[in-house]
Amino acid sequence: MPVVCLHGPLRKLAGDRSEHELSGATVEELLSELERAHPGLGGWIVDERGAIRRHINVFVNGELGGAQTPVAAGDRVEVLPAITGGAA
Amino acid sequence: MTELLVSTKKGLFVLEGEPGTGFEIAARAFAGQPVDYALRDGRTGRLLAAITSPFYGPKVFLGEEAAGEWEQAQGVALPEGGEQALNRIWVIAAGEAEGVLYAGGDPGVLFESHDGGASWEINAGLWDQPTRKDWQPGGGGLCLHSIAPWPGEPDRLSVAISAAGVWHTEDGGRSWSRGNQGLTPRYLPAEVIEELGLPEPDPGADTPLCVHHLERARARPERMYIQFHGGVYRSDDAGRSWVEIGRGLPSDFGFPLTVDPADADSAYVVPLVADMDRVTPEGRVRVFETRDAGETWMARGDGLPSEHAYLTVLRQALTRAGQGARMEIYLGTTTGEVFGSGDAGATWFEVASRLPPVYALSAR
């Protein structure tokens, strides 16, 4: 199964665990599965429209991806705050 | 002792003190995060804070003490699967019924809680307004920024939305009506205003009505005040119609407004030069006070910066505690200063400086 890696407050909301093995064929499916397993994450990564929040980046095996990026067993999916979200 | 909650671009600051003896920073919470509004519910003693993380979106949190643990409130979100997402919570207000709280946000949304803020639900009556498709956002978004309960009557409530005007409910939020007669959007071309026949009829829902702040006079609830995007207004008929009362001010553009709970004739505004120059006029910080419901205005600046002070005070950054001659008033600036008065604006002192930009204040 792919592994979703969380950091900072997202990690805390997911049982204080960084790595989560989840089933799914796309990033979107993985994130849905993640929210089902950890309801406290609801609204933190994906908004009400079902879109990944603007200033969150998802990398699949080190490549910037999106909701529809396919994932396979053994893939590593990093969910990270984007530098675009910072403010002075 | 007064507790002043200072919501800033970089966290929530809790200041404690008294006019005359000074204030100290007692706690900081949500370090580095934009805190849009914070309130201590006087009925439960519980703190509520609205945070808009640029990464993780808007959330409301509850806590007993700022330096302690905070818990995320549930339900502060738009309906799933729609075309819009919640952008920001602008204000939280206590309702009249036990345990009831309201929160206003962007896009023009009202949430209500019946359990002291732990869980929230969207007010469907306002969310499903048929005219919503015609609502237009102001510069800060389509923000529901003012919530005015009716003292002693839990089913009556007014809200203001920039730029969808003023809305009232008398049945606990099941149905809503507009109350904008008399408001004149001077930022529209003169021919449009003439064509609409303003200020006589209530402008239509497709007319952008940029209300900056709405307050109800608790001593006389049918009286309300508005700081408009150009114009200060008063209503004596529960917000159905409005008369302009900004004559005598150095500028009738500004954002915040507050009213003495003990005296419906006493209101306070902080004029800025104009929409194209949103700083205090003439380089002087002054609060303007009316004691006759807007017939006349007096400058109150004793103790406030009076030279080369080009400050901006946002819509939620003026608050009060108490009432009458000893009413405390506090104002915060986008340059990180907080000023206070312990005598209803007659004299002022510096509460804090070198804070992050101040978004909102609340005091008790």
With pLDDT > 70 as the criterion, what percentage of chain B qualifies? 100
The CATH number covering residue A80 comes to: 3.10.20.30
User: Is the minimum CB–CB distance between A85 and chain B shorter than 8 Å?
Assistant: yes
Task: Answer whether residue B142 is part of any domain.
Answer: yes
The CATH number covering residue B145 comes to: 2.130.10.10
Q: Do B77 and A48 make contact, defined as CB atoms within 8 angstroms?
A: yes
pLDDT in tens, B175-195: 999 999 999 999 999 998 888
Which residues in chain B are contacts of A49 at CB distance < 8 A?
A: 81-85
User: Is the minimum CB–CB distance between B152 and chain A shorter than 8 Å?
Assistant: no
Number of structural domains (chain A) is 1
Task: Answer whether residue B301 is part of any domain.
Answer: yes
Task: Answer whether residue B316 is part of any domain.
Answer: yes
| For residues B241-250, average pLDDT | 96
Task: Answer whether residue B63 is part of any domain.
Answer: no
| For residues B227-233, average pLDDT | 97
Spans of chain A, pLDDT less than 50: none
The answer to pTM > 0.95 is yes
pLDDT of B236 reads: 98
pLDDT of A13 reads: 97
Task: Answer whether residue B54 is part of any domain.
Answer: no
Give the range among A19-28, B77-86, B142-151, B192-201 with minimum mean pLDDT.
Answer: B192-201
Task: Answer whether residue B347 is part of any domain.
Answer: yes
Number of structural domains (chain B) is 1
Range of A55's domain?
3-85
Instruction: Say if residue B39's pLDDT is above 80.
Output: yes
Range of B299's domain?
80-363
Q: Do A48 and B72 make contact, defined as CB atoms within 8 angstroms?
A: no
pLDDT in tens, B283-342: 999 999 999 999 999 999 999 999 999 999 999 999 999 999 999 999 999 999 999 999
Instruction: Say if residue B271's pLDDT is above 90.
Output: yes
User: Is the minimum CB–CB distance between A88 and chain B shorter than 8 Å?
Assistant: no
Instruction: Say if residue B109's pLDDT is above 80.
Output: yes
Task: Answer whether residue B46 is part of any domain.
Answer: no
Task: Answer whether residue B195 is part of any domain.
Answer: yes
| For residues B160-179, average pLDDT | 97
pLDDT in tens, B8-21: 999 999 999 999 88
User: Is the minimum CB–CB distance between A12 and chain B shorter than 8 Å?
Assistant: no
HEC readout, chain B = CEEEEEEECCEEEEEEEECCCEEEEEEEECCCCCEEEEEECCCCCCEEEEEEECCCEEEEEEECCCCCCEEECECCCCCCCCCCCCCEEEEEEECCCCCCEEEEEECCEEEEECCCCCECEECHHHHCCHHHHHCCCECCECEEEEEEEECCEEEEEEEEEECEEEEEECCCCCCCEECCECCCCCCCCHHHHHHHCCCCCCCCCCCCECEEEEEECCCCCCCEEEEEECCEEEECCCCCECEECCCCCCCCEEEEEEECCCCCCCEEEEEECECCECCCHHHCCCEEEECCCCCCCEEECCCCCCCCCCCCCCCECEEEECCHHHCEEEEECCCCCEEEECCCCCCCEEEECCCCCEEEEEEC
Q: Do A53 and B86 make contact, defined as CB atoms within 8 angstroms?
A: no
